Each structure stands twice: as C-alpha cells, then as structure tokens.
Chains A and B, each alone.
Chain A
C-alpha cells in the first residue's frame, strides 16, 4: 500500500508543478509515481469539471443544468484519458519510446493537476463576477489548460526520452491512433452484434420450427 499512497508520493505532486522535467524523469527511473494517485487526480478533475458546470456563477455559466450528468462526464473523461494513454503507448512502442504504459498513465494523470487547481478558484471567482468581467474567469481556466498541455508535453518528452519535435509528432500520431482505436472498437462492436443476431435468429428459428 505504501508503494502507492505514501506521504512522499502525495507530496511529490508539488515537485511535478515546480520542477516538471526532473519530476517526470524520476517517475520514469526512480519509481516516484503512483498510478492510483494519477487515477485519483483524473477522478477529482471529473468532479471539478461537473462542479464547474453546476456551480460556476450565473453570469459565466451558459450550461443548461438539465444537460449536466456527472456520471457521463466521469465516463467520457476516463475514456478519453485511457484512449490517450493507450494510443500514445502503442505509437511510442513503435517509435523507440522508453516509457512504459504505467509511466504514460502516471505522467498524464499528474499533468491534469493544474486544471484542478485552476478550476476550483475559477468557480469561486466566477460567483463574484458581473458582466464584462468574465474574462478573468476565462483567463484562469485558459491558464490551467495551457499549463496542463505543457506538462503533458514535458511528461511525454521526458518519459520517452524524446526530442521536442519527435514528441510533437508522436502526440499528433497519438491523436490518429485514438481515432483508429475508436473506429476499430465500433467495427468490432458492430461485427459482434451481427454474430449475436445471427445466433439469436438461429435460436428463434429452432424454437419456432422445433
């Protein structure tokens, strides 16, 4: 248990924020990361995302409360997260990346942290904003997004021991891989469905004839 949840591992988040390149290097080579902690980070981000849709101030919140569904948010964010990790892993495997799947998952999960620590103040601040001041809210959120993007870039770069250019190329290819996975999954689903329907109709036929 301490392997995943030790005090040092939790405090390690601070190092990710202040010194990302070193921190990610140690995640790869000195076992400083923890997959459960990364998953918890993603989970907290899902909560923040839903809370942002529900609780952010009336002036900035254009979301229809009837469309907010925390479980759907949770599912979709986790699906995207896993798609990204698996897509990246499958690409970097072929491109001499040094990172393992657990490194990619840890690094991506840890990189979402800035989004959490900007969304919470953004929600609070949005409740004291009036019209024409929404820009503060969007600046905070935008800052978080940019920070996270930077951390993912640094993380992938460090974990795989890539150059910047190669990282950007692999990230682009990761996107392609994600689309491919979705396509294949849908194809598989459809084919299995047809097989299922085939057996079902055989069964129905037997029941009715027999």
Chain B
C-alpha cells in the first residue's frame, strides 16, 4: 500500500512537472514562422515542420572555415559534398556530419596534379562519381575518388556563339550519366551533355513572352524609359536536380511569382503539375513595389527532389523553404532571415538528408541543419503513401496531422479523397468541402446525388403523381365554384 502511494505521488509529480514544461517545450524558440497558404490565399500559421538542429561549419569540422561556399550535394552513400568555392576545394563530410572525411584540393588529371578554380557546383551521380562545376577553369570535372575520369569542357555547337566562354555554375546528373549544366550568362536554357561529354542541346528553352499590353507601352516609351524597364530575357536558371526517373527539376527566377520551377521530361518540355491555385512560385503575398527592403516575388535559388515526388525550393530573398508534393500542392513553408541560430543570411543551396534538410549559407559560411518534427514527418509520410497509391493507409496519418493542425486543407482533402475512393461519398463531401476542393467535392456530390435519387425514385415519383392529381382535383373544384358564383351574380 505504501509503495502504491509512493508511486502515485511520483506519478502526480511527473504529471505536474510535464504539464509545466509542455507549454514551454511547445514554445521552444523557433526563430522563424512556419505557415502555408489556404484556398483563399490567406496565410495560415502551422506548427513547425522542421526545427533548427544545429549547424556545421569548416571550423567545427576542423578544416578551416569555408569561404563563400556555393553548393552542397549528398551522395547515395550519405556523404555530404560542399563546394567551398573561394578556397578552391571540395570538402567531404561523413553522413553523421561529425567530421570531414576528405578535402579535395588537387586531383589526378591524366597523371598530372590539377587544381580547381572557384568550383561553384557539385553533385554526385548514382555511380558515386563526383561532378564538380569548375567555374573559372571553364569545365566540369568528373572525379572518381581523387582521379579525374572525365573532363567536360569547350562545348561545340552551332547553337553557341563563337566567342562563348563556358562557365558552369550548377550541375546535375541523371541515371544515364547525362550532365545538365546551368552556366553563367547562358539564358537559352540548361546545357545538356551526353555521357561522353559532348554538348547535345538546351533544355527548358522557352520563347520570351510579352503581353500585348507590354508591347503597347514599349511602343510609346522613350529610349531612356525602355532602358529602365525590366529586360525581357528568358529564364535565368538557378538550380537543377534530376529525379530517379530522369525528369529534370530546374528552379529559376520568376519575377511574377507564378512558377519558379520546371519539371522537364526527356524532350525538354515542362510537365510539372500545379495544385488548385496553379501557383508554384513561393510566396503568394508579398510587397509588390519597392516600398520596403523586401519586395517582389520569391527568389528561388535552388531545388531539391526529395522522396516520393516531394520537392523543396529555397527562396534567398526571404530565406524560406517551400515544399510541394508531386501534384503541386504546397505542403509547408519554413525558414527565415536573421542573425539567430537557425536563420539565414544568404542561403544558396539545399540538400535532403533523409529526415533532415541541409541549407548552405554563403554568408554565414556554414551548413544549417533542420530536423523533421512530428508534424513534418506525418505530412511527408501521408503524401508518400498517397504517391504510392495507399490512400486508405494515409487516412490515419492525415487524422493525426489534423490533430496537430485542424485547419490544414491538405489533410482534409487527403481524407476526403480516401473516402471517395472507398465509396463513402457523404463523408468524402464533408472533408472535401473543408479542404475547399471543388473538383473532387463535385465528384463525390454527383455520386451521392445519384445514389440518393436511385434509392428514393419510388417516393419521388409517387409524390409527383399525387401532387399532379391534387392539383387537377383542386382546379376542377375551384372552377365549379367560380362558375356558380358567376351564375349567382348574373342573376
């Protein structure tokens, strides 16, 4: 008995302790807001999907501080490669992010020791070959360990101007060892190189689009005015990544804030899906003019493909990370500029390390680590299940998401769609309406309406016949009465 009392007292104490600390835990200082946009394009704050989990820099790794690092990449074996641009080296960090396993400053190029000159971009192929966009040496170096197995340089094509200087900034490689290179001052598109290293074509080329209105104004503006207007140039690509199926995701600067990423099929056509609002451009609400320091649409500097068709975009203007699923639905937004730990000054590159997201900050010269919270994990998992076609399994997870964030339209739509495929149209309607999804609501509603009609057709027809009969009888009676009245007055 005494033991029981002691245990009870202990339990009570624990309960009190946790009830005191739980709000404190919930309010742990996350130095940024996490939010999403709802159907009406209002900002809706959400629990944080990712929270800061420290940072690694050249100092913590013991290799001397990074200097203007520009790109990070993660190898299939989990190693992290950092393009330490102004130090002319590539730093390789182990998967646990505790130490630098290697620092590649020189490499064996056909028997000679060779060096990088401002390596901007770095990526690792499925065959674990390291591709380095060696910008000032005008080449892409393919390394196996410390030995160069291929050098991609001096692209030859009649599509390129004669005095073209190849200066690669970002590089990505697909399963067939084709290299996709974003090069400086190359506005015609992403340069595609074959496995042999020959320049093949441009990717993501799009003709300049001007509206009639813009052309009308240009006609009436003076030369000075025209010079001050925005230049109508084609996309400026900023980041590139290739998914396992060979689709190329490329982020670019979209000043209109409508779409900042392409998903290019092997023919080079954009096949990306957009969600209900048709927007893939990051923030929907922003200061439109030059009224403040931060104005204009999001400035996407990198894209990474994550598991199950999810991809993330990095906005360097406001330091936010936007995550979309394969259907183009906005999942969550987090991150922010600042000087606190866990905020950015000049984020430039993203990497996905399983349940962590790494962001390279040029100015802070460190890699910031963000680890998944339960909220983020549940969303990722549910979207993944839907991607695999297990919508039924996703329902439970969406319900847990709703418990954390009741207003999330995404979760309501997820549950609604699952009910719809199950055939429970009534429930599907409820959830799809909460999720503001008119298309799927209509499908559910149509089916529900048909069922209702089918079940009750007998009653409806009976009621119609009875009503018609009643009307007929009433009319006859009334006319008789009216006739009598007429007769009486005539008399």
Interface residues of A (CB under 8 A from B): 58-59, 64, 128, 130-132
Contact call B40/A58, Cβ cutoff below 8 A: no
Contact call B442/A59, Cβ cutoff below 8 A: yes
A58-B433, A59-B445 are contacts. A131–B439 as well, Cβ < 8 Å? yes
Q: A59-B442, A131-B442, A131-B443 are in contact. List 16 more A-B contacts (CB 8 A).
A: A58-B433, A58-B438, A58-B441, A59-B438, A59-B441, A59-B445, A64-B40, A128-B449, A130-B442, A130-B443, A130-B445, A130-B446, A130-B449, A131-B438, A131-B439, A132-B442
* Nearest chain B residue, comparing its CB with the CB of A58: B433
* Nearest chain B residue, comparing its CB with the CB of A132: B442
- Return chain B residues, CB-CB under 8 Å to A58: 433, 438, 441
* Nearest chain B residue, comparing its CB with the CB of A64: B40
In the bound complex, CA of A59 to CA of B445 (Å) = 10
Count of CB-CB pairs between chains A and B under 8 Å: 19
Q: 0/1 per residue, B433-468, Cβ < 8 Å to A?
A: 100001101110110010000000000000000000
Could you list 14 examples of A-B contacts with CB < 8 Å? A58-B438, A58-B441, A59-B441, A59-B442, A59-B445, A130-B442, A130-B443, A130-B445, A130-B449, A131-B438, A131-B439, A131-B442, A131-B443, A132-B442
Q: 0/1 per residue, B406-446, Cβ < 8 Å to A?
A: 00000000000000000000000000010000110111011
- Return chain A residues, CB-CB under 8 Å to B449: 128, 130
In the bound complex, CA of A132 to CA of B439 (Å) = 10
- Return chain A residues, CB-CB under 8 Å to B40: 64
- Return chain A residues, CB-CB under 8 Å to B443: 130-131
State how many angstroms separate the Cβ of A100 from the closest Cβ of chain B: 38
Closest 4 CB pairs of A and B: A131-B442, A130-B442, A130-B446, A130-B445
State how many angstroms separate the Cβ of B416 from the closest Cβ of chain A: 13
State how many angstroms separate the Cβ of B410 from the closest Cβ of chain A: 18
State how many angstroms separate the Cβ of B432 from the closest Cβ of chain A: 9
In the bound complex, CA of A128 to CA of B438 (Å) = 14
In the bound complex, CA of A59 to CA of B40 (Å) = 15
State how many angstroms separate the Cβ of A108 from the closest Cβ of chain B: 35
**Interface size of B as a range:** 10 to 19
In the bound complex, CA of A128 to CA of B433 (Å) = 14
Report B211-262 residues with CB < 8 Å from chain A CB: none
* Nearest chain B residue, comparing its CB with the CB of A65: B40
* Nearest chain A residue, comparing its CB with the CB of B444: A130
* Nearest chain B residue, comparing its CB with the CB of A131: B442
- Return chain B residues, CB-CB under 8 Å to A132: 442
State how many angstroms separate the Cβ of B460 from the closest Cβ of chain A: 13
State how many angstroms separate the Cβ of A152 from the closest Cβ of chain B: 34
From A58, A64, A128, name the one whose CB has the most chain B CB atoms within 10 angstroms. A58
- Return chain B residues, CB-CB under 8 Å to A130: 442-443, 445-446, 449
From B40, B433, B438, name the one whose CB has the most chain A CB atoms within 10 angstroms. B438
State how many angstroms separate the Cβ of A13 from the closest Cβ of chain B: 22
- Return chain A residues, CB-CB under 8 Å to B438: 58-59, 131
- Return chain B residues, CB-CB under 8 Å to A128: 449
State how many angstroms separate the Cβ of A187 from the closest Cβ of chain B: 30
In the bound complex, CA of A58 to CA of B435 (Å) = 12
In the bound complex, CA of A192 to CA of B442 (Å) = 54
- Return chain B residues, CB-CB under 8 Å to A59: 438, 441-442, 445
* Nearest chain B residue, comparing its CB with the CB of A127: B445
- Return chain B residues, CB-CB under 8 Å to A131: 438-439, 442-443
- Return chain A residues, CB-CB under 8 Å to B442: 59, 130-132
From A58, A130, A131, A132, name the one whose CB has the most chain B CB atoms within 10 angstroms. A130
In the bound complex, CA of A167 to CA of B433 (Å) = 47
In the bound complex, CA of A132 to CA of B445 (Å) = 12
* Nearest chain A residue, comparing its CB with the CB of B445: A130
- Return chain A residues, CB-CB under 8 Å to B433: 58
- Return chain A residues, CB-CB under 8 Å to B441: 58-59
State how many angstroms separate the Cβ of A196 from the closest Cβ of chain B: 32
State how many angstroms separate the Cβ of A66 from the closest Cβ of chain B: 8
In the bound complex, CA of A130 to CA of B446 (Å) = 6
* Nearest chain A residue, comparing its CB with the CB of B452: A128
State how many angstroms separate the Cβ of A131 from the closest Cβ of chain B: 3
In the bound complex, CA of A59 to CA of B443 (Å) = 11
* Nearest chain A residue, comparing its CB with the CB of B447: A130
In the bound complex, CA of A64 to CA of B39 (Å) = 10
* Nearest chain A residue, comparing its CB with the CB of B440: A131
In the bound complex, CA of A138 to CA of B438 (Å) = 17
Report B255-297 residues with CB < 8 Å from chain A CB: none
Q: 0/1 per residue, B31-61, Cβ < 8 Å to A?
A: 0000000001000000000000000000000
- Return chain A residues, CB-CB under 8 Å to B446: 130
In the bound complex, CA of A129 to CA of B438 (Å) = 12
In the bound complex, CA of A64 to CA of B439 (Å) = 18
In the bound complex, CA of A22 to CA of B315 (Å) = 69
State how many angstroms separate the Cβ of A136 from the closest Cβ of chain B: 14
* Nearest chain A residue, comparing its CB with the CB of B446: A130
In the bound complex, CA of A171 to CA of B88 (Å) = 77
State how many angstroms separate the Cβ of B209 from the closest Cβ of chain A: 28
In the bound complex, CA of A9 to CA of B449 (Å) = 42
- Return chain A residues, CB-CB under 8 Å to B445: 59, 130
* Nearest chain A residue, comparing its CB with the CB of B39: A64
State how many angstroms separate the Cβ of B453 from the closest Cβ of chain A: 10
State how many angstroms separate the Cβ of B212 from the closest Cβ of chain A: 27
State how many angstroms separate the Cβ of A68 from the closest Cβ of chain B: 13
* Nearest chain A residue, comparing its CB with the CB of B442: A131
- Return chain B residues, CB-CB under 8 Å to A64: 40
State how many angstroms separate the Cβ of B177 from the closest Cβ of chain A: 46
In the bound complex, CA of A18 to CA of B438 (Å) = 39
State how many angstroms separate the Cβ of A173 from the closest Cβ of chain B: 32
* Nearest chain B residue, comparing its CB with the CB of A128: B449
State how many angstroms separate the Cβ of A209 from the closest Cβ of chain B: 41
In the bound complex, CA of A157 to CA of B424 (Å) = 57
* Nearest chain A residue, comparing its CB with the CB of B433: A58
State how many angstroms separate the Cβ of A162 from the closest Cβ of chain B: 40
State how many angstroms separate the Cβ of B489 from the closest Cβ of chain A: 19
* Nearest chain B residue, comparing its CB with the CB of A60: B438
* Nearest chain B residue, comparing its CB with the CB of A67: B40
State how many angstroms separate the Cβ of B438 from the closest Cβ of chain A: 6
State how many angstroms separate the Cβ of A54 from the closest Cβ of chain B: 15
State how many angstroms separate the Cβ of A67 from the closest Cβ of chain B: 10
